[in-house]
C-alpha cells in the first residue's frame, strides 16, 4: 500500500548548531576547505555518501551525533569561525582590483547559461561548459563583480553513468528533491512563490524560481515541475540536454525569455546580459520586446539597446554543437511573438539565418546571438580565429580577420581546483594572494622558490590519495555489480602509487579521440609492462546517451582495462563528475588530451591539472596551442599543430607520435631520479608550468577580461543610449536605418599611390582615393586605407588600417581623400581603400555589417 501523503522528517538542529544551515545554503563550501572539512569531520562516511551535499547531510545526520556535537566546544568554536568567515566574505564590499565603475546598488550583469558546475552535489551540469559557468560565477564572487546568474533546475539532472558487465554505457536518472539541495525557494514580500510564465505554442508554461547562493552571487534557477503545469510541460526541466529538438527549444525559451522575465519580476532588470553559448540567445529577443513595450521604442531602437548591452560567448567549433531549429518548428513557437514585435515572420527568421534570403535555412541560435550582441568572443585565441572563419557568412562583406568575434581565453577557478595540500604549499611560498589575486604574475613567479623536495612530496601524496580513491571507487563499482570477493580484493591492488600516472578524463566525443591511445596495442602494452619504469592510465568520461560511437569507444577501452595483463595498470572510473575530476587533476603526473585540432574550443581540465603541477601531454589545440612552449619546458605536445584532410591518416600519425613522445620524453624524464630520488628536470617543468601559466589560465583573469573588454563598455553604452528617455538609442537607430538605405550609393574610384614598383621600408607612400558619399555626411563615415604584407597567395597576411582625410571637394560631387602609409617590414606589400560607418555611440563599426570596398 502507498501512503497518501509523505513528509520528510528533518532533524531539529540544536540551537548551537543552527549556523550549519547558513553554511549549507551557500555554495561557498565548494571552494572553502575550512567549511567543507567542517562538514566532513562531523561524519566522514555520511558526508561522502551524500556526495558532499550539506543539505542532505544535515537532514540525515543521526540525532545522537548532533547532540554530541552541540556539546563539543572545539567543534562549536570551529563552527563559529567558519560562520564568521562566511559572513565576512559575503558582506565584504568593494574590491581590490580595478573593475569598471558600475553602480553597485543593483547587479548590472546577468549571466545566462543552460548549465552550471558549481559543486558535485548540484546536478545541473554535464561538462566543460557548465564547469566554466560555475568557475565564472565563483570568480565574479571573489572579485565582487555586480553579477547575477540565471539557469534551469533539472529534476533528474544530467545522467549518471554505469556500465553493463560487457562494458556498455547505461544511463540512470535519479529523481532529485530540490528541498534537499542547497537551493531556496524565491518568494515575494508576502511569502508567495515567485513565478514567471512563457507562452509555448499556445500553452502557458509557469515556472518557479530557486535561489542558489554562490558566495556573493545569486544564481536563479527556473523550475517547470509544478502542479499548475500539465505533465508534458512539467517535463521541460526534467533533464539537462534530454529530449528532442522541440524540448530543447522549449528549454531555451524558458531560459532566455523566462530568465529575462524573472529578472524583471525580481526588480533586477539586466543592464548587461552575458549569453554563455547560443542556448540563451532568446534573452536578447525578450529584452528587445520589453524595451519596445515598456519604453515605446521602435524595434530598431530596442535592438540598438539590447545589442549594445549584450555579450556573447560561443563555445563550439563542431557544427552539430550549434542549435538549429527548422522554420516550421520556429513558426509554431514564435509567430505570435514576432507579431508582437511588429516583425514579419520572414524578417524575424532572418535574425537567425546566415543568409537572410534563404527561406530553407534553419534558425540558428549562434547566428541569433551574434546578430544581437556587440561583444562576441570565442574561448581561446585559436578558437577566436576558427569562429571568425566559421561565422564569416554572417558578415559577408568582411575579410575573415575583420569578422567581429574576438577571443577571451577561458580560465579555471584556482581555489576550487587546487588540492588543499598544494594550496598550503602555495600559501607558504607564493603568499595567500594566489587565491585573491591569481592573475598576478609576481605572485606565481615565486613558484621558483618552492623547494623541490617539498613540491614533489606533496605531489606524491596527491598521487597516493588518487590511487586510494580509485581503489575505493572501483570496489564500489564492483560491489554494485555483485562481484565476487576475489574480484573485490583485486580492486584493492590496482595501480601502483609510485608509478607514472597518466589521466584521460573527458566526454567521449569523436573529436576528442580517446582511441588514438589504443591504435597500437603492442606499443601501449610495452609501456605498461615495463617493470623498471611502469606507466599506468586512469580513464573516465561519459558519452552522450545517443552517441553509439562514443559508447563503443568506451566499451573498447573497458575491454582493454579488463585483460589479465592490463587490469592493474589501466582503470576506467564510471560516472565522471566534479569529484572524480578533482582527484584526477590533482593526483596524476600527466594530463593527456588528444583532440583533433581545431575542434577543442579551449579545454579547461588541463588548466586544472596545470594548477596542481601536473604536466600536459596534448595536441596543440585550444588553450594548449597558446600555452605550450616549444622547448617542452612547461609540458609536452603531440605534433606541432598540423591539420589534416585525411582523418584516419592523421589519427595514425598522431598516435605514433604520442607513443614516441611517451617513450622518449615523458617516461625517461619522469624516471630520471637524482639525489633523494627526485626527478629534478620534471620538477623544474612543474614549477615553470605553475609559475608561467598560473597567472594567465585562471578564471579571475578571464572574468577581469570580460569586465574590461565587454561588461564595462557594454554598460557604458547602455547608460549612454538610455539617457534622455532613450533619445540616443532612437537617434542611433534612425541614423543606422538612413545609412542602410543610402549605403548602396557609396562608391570609391581612382585609388592611386605615388609610388613606383619599388618602395622602401619605413618610407611613407601617399594614397589617394576619390569617394562618392551619395549625400551621407562625411562625419558619418570613416574612409580608410587597408594595407599590409601579402602572403604567397596574394592575400593580406597582416593588415593595418589608416584613416584617410578629405583633401578637397571635386566639381562633380566626388571628394578626394588622402593619407600616408608605410611598409613596416620588407616583403610584397599591398593596399586597398574602404568606407566604414562611424558614430560615437558605436564602439565597433563592424557590427553593422556595412562596408564599401574600392
Task: Work out how close the CB of 257 gets to ligand PLP at its nearest, in angstroms, rounded to a whole number.
Answer: 28
Nearer to ligand PLP among residue 426 and residue 624 (C-beta): 624
- The 258-297 contact track toward ligand PLP, x by CB under 6 A, reads ----------------------------------------
- The 128-147 contact track toward ligand PLP, x by CB under 6 A, reads x--x----------------
φ and ψ of 772, to 5 deg = -110, 115
Do 439 and 704 touch, CB atoms closer than 8 A?
Answer: yes
Task: Work out how close the CB of 506 gets to ligand PLP at its nearest, in angstroms, rounded to a whole number.
Answer: 4
φ and ψ of 386, to 5 deg = -60, -40
Instruction: Give the burial class of 212: count Cβ atoms within 10 A of its Cβ; 0-12 exposed, 13-18 middle, 19 or more buried.
Output: buried
DSSP state letters, 346-411: HHHHHTT-SSTT-TTPPEEHHHHHHHT-SEEEESSHHHHHHHHHHTGGGSTTS-GGGSS-EE----
The window from 77-85, 162-170, 330-338, 573-581 that contacts ligand PLP (CB under 6 A) reads 573-581
**Cis peptide upstream of residue 598 (ω within 30 degrees of 0):** yes
Do 525 and 560 touch, CB atoms closer than 8 A?
Answer: no
Task: Work out how close the CB of 136 gets to ligand PLP at its nearest, in angstroms, rounded to a whole number.
Answer: 13
Torsion over CA: 641, 390, 702, 151 (sign): negative
Task: Work out how close the CB of 535 gets to ligand PLP at its nearest, in angstroms, rounded to a whole number.
Answer: 21
Q: What is the dihedral of CA 479, 483, 489, 495, to 10 degrees?
A: -80
State the Rg of the chain over Cα.
Answer: 29
Nearer to ligand PLP among residue 131 and residue 710 (C-beta): 131
The window from 93-101, 430-438, 556-564, 574-582 that contacts ligand PLP (CB under 6 A) reads 574-582
CA-based nearest residue to 818, from 807, 808, 809, 810 = 807
Residues shown for the chain: 854
Nearer to ligand PLP among residue 561 and residue 582 (C-beta): 582
Instruction: Give the burial class of 507: count Cβ atoms within 10 A of its Cβ; 0-12 exposed, 13-18 middle, 19 or more buried.
Output: middle
Task: Work out how close the CB of 784 gets to ligand PLP at its nearest, in angstroms, rounded to a whole number.
Answer: 39
CA-based nearest residue to 715, from 260, 266, 107 = 107
Task: Work out how close the CB of 508 gets to ligand PLP at its nearest, in angstroms, rounded to a whole number.
Answer: 11
The window from 125-133, 142-150, 213-221, 241-249 that contacts ligand PLP (CB under 6 A) reads 125-133
Nearer to ligand PLP among residue 43 and residue 513 (C-beta): 513
DSSP state letters, 283-341: HHHHHHHHHHHHH---HHHHHHHHHHTEEEE----SGGGS-EE-HHHHHHHHHHHHHHT
Do 494 and 567 touch, CB atoms closer than 8 A?
Answer: yes
Kindly identify the residues of this chain, within the stretch 579-608, that bind ligand PLP according to CB under 6 A: 581, 603-606, 608
The window from 124-132, 304-312, 430-438, 767-775 that contacts ligand PLP (CB under 6 A) reads 124-132
Task: Work out how close the CB of 103 gets to ligand PLP at its nearest, in angstroms, rounded to a whole number.
Answer: 34
Burial 746-761 (b: 16+ CB within 10 A, else e): bebeebebebeeeeee
Among 58, 79, 408, 578, binds ligand PLP (CB under 6 A): 578
CA-based nearest residue to 837, from 699, 695, 737, 727 = 737
Nearer to ligand PLP among residue 125 and residue 796 (C-beta): 125
Nearer to ligand PLP among residue 111 and residue 591 (C-beta): 591
DSSP state letters, 395-457: STTS-GGGSS-EE----B-HHHHS-HHHHHHHHHHT-THHHH-TT-HHHHHGGGGS-HHHHHH
Task: Work out how close the CB of 157 gets to ligand PLP at its nearest, in angstroms, rounded to a whole number.
Answer: 13
Nearer to ligand PLP among residue 576 and residue 796 (C-beta): 576
- The 482-521 contact track toward ligand PLP, x by CB under 6 A, reads ------------------------x---------------
The window from 173-181, 455-463, 575-583, 655-663 that contacts ligand PLP (CB under 6 A) reads 575-583
> Under rule CB under 6 A, how many of the chain's residues touch ligand PLP?
13
Kindly identify the residues of this chain, within the stretch 210-229, that bind ligand PLP according to CB under 6 A: none
Task: Work out how close the CB of 601 gets to ligand PLP at its nearest, in angstroms, rounded to a whole number.
Answer: 8
The window from 98-106, 271-279, 346-354, 577-585 that contacts ligand PLP (CB under 6 A) reads 577-585
Three-class DSSP category at 801: strand
Does residue 635 belong to the site contacting ligand PLP (CB under 6 A)? no
CB atoms within 10 A of CB 611: 30
Nearer to ligand PLP among residue 107 and residue 541 (C-beta): 541
Task: Work out how close the CB of 672 gets to ligand PLP at its nearest, in angstroms, rounded to a whole number.
Answer: 28
Nearer to ligand PLP among residue 289 and residue 512 (C-beta): 512
The window from 152-160, 435-443, 570-578, 744-752 that contacts ligand PLP (CB under 6 A) reads 570-578
Kindly identify the residues of this chain, within the stretch 740-759, that bind ligand PLP according to CB under 6 A: none
d(CA 543, CA 512): 11
Among 577, 589, 669, 770, binds ligand PLP (CB under 6 A): 577
Among 107, 127, 713, 728, binds ligand PLP (CB under 6 A): 127
Cα(first)–Cα(last) distance of the chain, in Å?
Answer: 82
d(CA 113, CA 124): 11
Nearer to ligand PLP among residue 182 and residue 603 (C-beta): 603
Task: Work out how close the CB of 621 gets to ligand PLP at its nearest, in angstroms, rounded to a whole number.
Answer: 11
Nearer to ligand PLP among residue 505 and residue 785 (C-beta): 505
Residues that bind ligand PLP (CB under 6 A): 127-128, 131, 506, 576-578, 581, 603-606, 608
Amino acid at each position: 500500500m502507498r501512503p497518501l501523503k509523505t513528509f520528510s522528517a528533518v532533524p531539529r538542529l540544536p540551537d548551537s548548531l543552527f549556523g550549519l544551515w547558513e553554511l549549507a545554503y551557500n555554495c561557498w563550501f565548494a571552494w572553502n576547505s575550512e567549511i567543507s572539512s567542517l562538514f566532513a569531520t562531523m561524519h566522514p562516511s555520511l558526508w561522502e555518501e551524500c556526495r558532499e551535499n550539506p543539505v542532505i547531510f544535515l537532514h540525515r545526520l543521526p540525532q545522537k551525533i548532533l547532540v554530541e556535537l552541540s556539546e563539543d566546544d572545539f567543534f562549536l568554536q570551529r563552527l563559529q569561525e567558519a560562520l564568521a568567515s562566511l559572513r565576512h566574505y559575503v558582506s565584504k564590499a568593494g574590491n581590490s582590483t580595478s573593475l569598471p565603475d558600475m553602480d553597485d546598488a543593483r547587479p548590472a550583469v546577468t549571466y545566462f547559461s543552460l548549465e552550471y558546475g558549481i559543486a558535485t552535489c548540484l546536478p545541473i551540469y554535464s561538462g566543460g561548459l557548465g564547469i566554466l559557468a560555475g568557475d565564472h560565477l565563483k570568480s565574479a564572487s571573489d572579485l565582487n563583480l555586480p553579477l547575477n546568474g540565471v539557469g534551469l533546475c533539472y529534476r533528474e539532472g544530467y545522467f549518471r553513468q554505469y556500465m553493463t558487465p560487457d562494458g556498455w554505457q547505461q544511463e540512470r536518472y535519479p529523481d532529485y528533491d530540490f528541498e534537499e539541495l542547497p537551493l531556496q525557494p524565491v518568494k515575494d514580500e508576502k511569502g508567495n512563490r515567485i513565478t514567471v510564465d512563457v507562452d509555448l505554442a499556445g500553452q502557458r508554461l509557469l515556472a518557479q524560481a530557486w535561489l542558489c547562493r554562490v558566495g556573493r552571487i545569486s544564481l536563479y534557477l527556473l523550475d517547470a515541475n509544478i502542479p499548475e503545469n500539465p505533465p508534458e510541460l512539467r517535463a521541460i526541466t526534467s533533464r539537462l540536454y534530454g529530449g528532442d529538438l522541440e524540448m530543447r527549444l522549449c528549454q531555451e525559451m524558458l531560459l532566455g525569455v523566462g530568465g529575462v522575465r524573472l529578472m524583471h519580476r525580481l526588480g533586477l532588470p539586466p543592464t548587461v546580459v552575458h549569453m554563455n553559448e547560443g542556448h540563451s540567445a532568446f534573452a536578447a529577443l525578450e529584452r528587445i520586446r520589453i524595451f519596445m513595450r515598456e519604453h515605446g521604442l521602435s524595434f530598431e531602437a530596442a535592438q540598438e539597446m539590447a545589442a549594445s548591452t549584450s555579450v556573447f560567448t560561443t563555445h563550439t567549433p563542431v557544427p552539430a554543437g550549434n542549435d538549429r531549429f527548422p522554420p516550421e518548428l520556429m513558426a509554431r513557437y514564435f509567430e505570435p511573438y514576432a507579431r508582437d514585435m511588429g516583425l514579419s515572420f520572414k524578417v524575424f527568421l532572418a535574425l537567425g539565418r546566415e543568409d537572410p534570403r534563404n527561406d530553407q535555412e534553419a534558425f540558428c541560435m549562434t547566428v541569433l546571438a551574434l546578430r544581437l550582441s556587440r561583444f562576441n568572443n570565442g574561448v581561446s585565441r585559436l578558437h577566436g580565429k576558427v569562429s571568425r572563419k566559421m561565422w564569416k557568412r554572417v558578415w559577408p562583406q568582411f575579410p575573415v580577420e575583420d569578422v567581429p568575434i574576438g577571443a577571451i581565453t577561458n580560465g579555471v577557478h584556482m581555489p576550487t581546483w587546487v588540492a588543499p595540500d598544494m594550496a598550503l604549499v602555495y600559501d607558504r611560498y607564493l603568499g595567500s594572494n594566489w587565491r585573491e589575486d591569481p592573475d598576478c604574475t609576481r605572485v606565481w613567479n615565486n613558484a621558483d622558490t618552492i623547494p623541490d623536495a617539498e613540491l614533489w612530496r606533496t605531489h606524491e601524496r596527491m598521487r597516493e590519495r588518487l590511487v586510494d580513491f580509485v581503489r575505493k571507487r572501483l570496489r564500489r563499482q564492483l560491489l554494485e555489480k555483485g562481484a565476487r570477493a576475489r574480484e573485490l580484493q583485486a580492486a584493492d591492488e590496482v595501480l601502483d602509487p609510485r608509478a607514472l600516472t597518466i589521466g584521460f578524463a573527458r566526454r567521449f566525443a569523436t573529436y576528442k579521440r580517446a582511441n588514438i591511445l589504443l591504435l597500437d596495442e603492442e606499443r601501449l602494452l610495452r609501456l605498461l609492462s615495463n617493470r623498471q619504469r611502469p606507466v599506468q592510465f586512469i580513464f573516465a568520461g561519459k558519452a552522450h546517451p545517443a552517441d553509439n560511437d562514443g559508447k563503443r569507444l568506451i566499451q573498447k577501452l573497458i575491454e582493454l582495462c579488463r585483460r589479465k595483463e592490463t587490469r592493474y595498470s589501466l582503470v576506467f572510473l564510471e560516472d565522471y563528475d566534479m569529484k572524480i575530476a578533482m582527484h584526477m587533476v590533482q593526483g596524476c603526473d600527466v594530463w593527456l588530451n588528444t583532440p583533433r585540432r581545431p575542434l577543442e574550443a579551449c579545454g579547461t581540465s588541463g588548466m586544472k591539472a596545470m594548477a596542481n603541477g601536473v604536466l600536459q601531454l596534448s595536441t596543440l589545440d585550444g588553450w594548449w596551442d597558446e600555452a605550450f612552449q616549444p622547448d617542452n619546458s612547461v609540458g609536452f605536445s603531440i605534433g606541432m599543430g598540423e591539420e589534416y584532410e585525411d582523418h584516419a591518416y592523421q589519427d595514425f600519425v598522431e598516435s605514433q607520435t604520442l607513443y614516441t613522445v611517451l617513450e622518449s620524453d615523458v617516461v625517461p624524464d619522469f624516471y630520471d631520479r637524482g639525489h633523494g630520488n627526485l626527478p629534478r628536470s620534471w620538477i623544474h617543468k612543474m614549477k615553470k608550468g605553475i609559475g608561467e601559466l598560473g597567472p594567465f589560465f585562471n578564471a579571475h583573469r578571464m572574468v577581469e577580461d570580460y569586465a574590461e573588454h565587454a561588461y564595462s563598455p557594454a554598460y557604458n553604452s547602455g547608460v549612454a543610449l538610455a539617457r534622455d528617455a532613450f533619445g540616443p538609442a532612437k537617434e542611433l537607430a534612425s541614423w543606422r536605418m538612413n545609412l542602410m538605405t543610402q549605403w548602396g550609393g557609396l562608391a570609391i574610384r581612382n585609388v592611386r599611390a605615388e609610388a613606383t614598383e619599388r618602395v622602401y621600408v619605413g618610407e611613407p607612400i601617399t594614397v589617394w582615393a576619390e569617394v562618392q558619399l551619395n549625400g551621407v555626411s562625411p562625419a558619418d563615415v570613416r574612409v580608410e586605407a587597408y594595407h599590409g604584407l601579402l602572403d604567397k597567395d596574394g592575400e593580406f597576411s597582416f593588415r593595418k588600417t589608416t584613416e584617410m582625410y578629405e583633401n578637397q571637394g571635386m566639381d562633380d560631387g566626388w571628394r578626394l581623400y588622402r593619407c600616408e602609409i608605410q611598409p613596416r617590414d620588407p616583403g610584397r606589400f599591398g593596399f586597398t581603400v574602404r568606407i566604414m560607418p562611424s558614430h560615437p555611440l558605436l564602439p565597433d563599426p563592424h557590427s553593422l555589417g556595412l562596408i564599401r570596398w574600392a
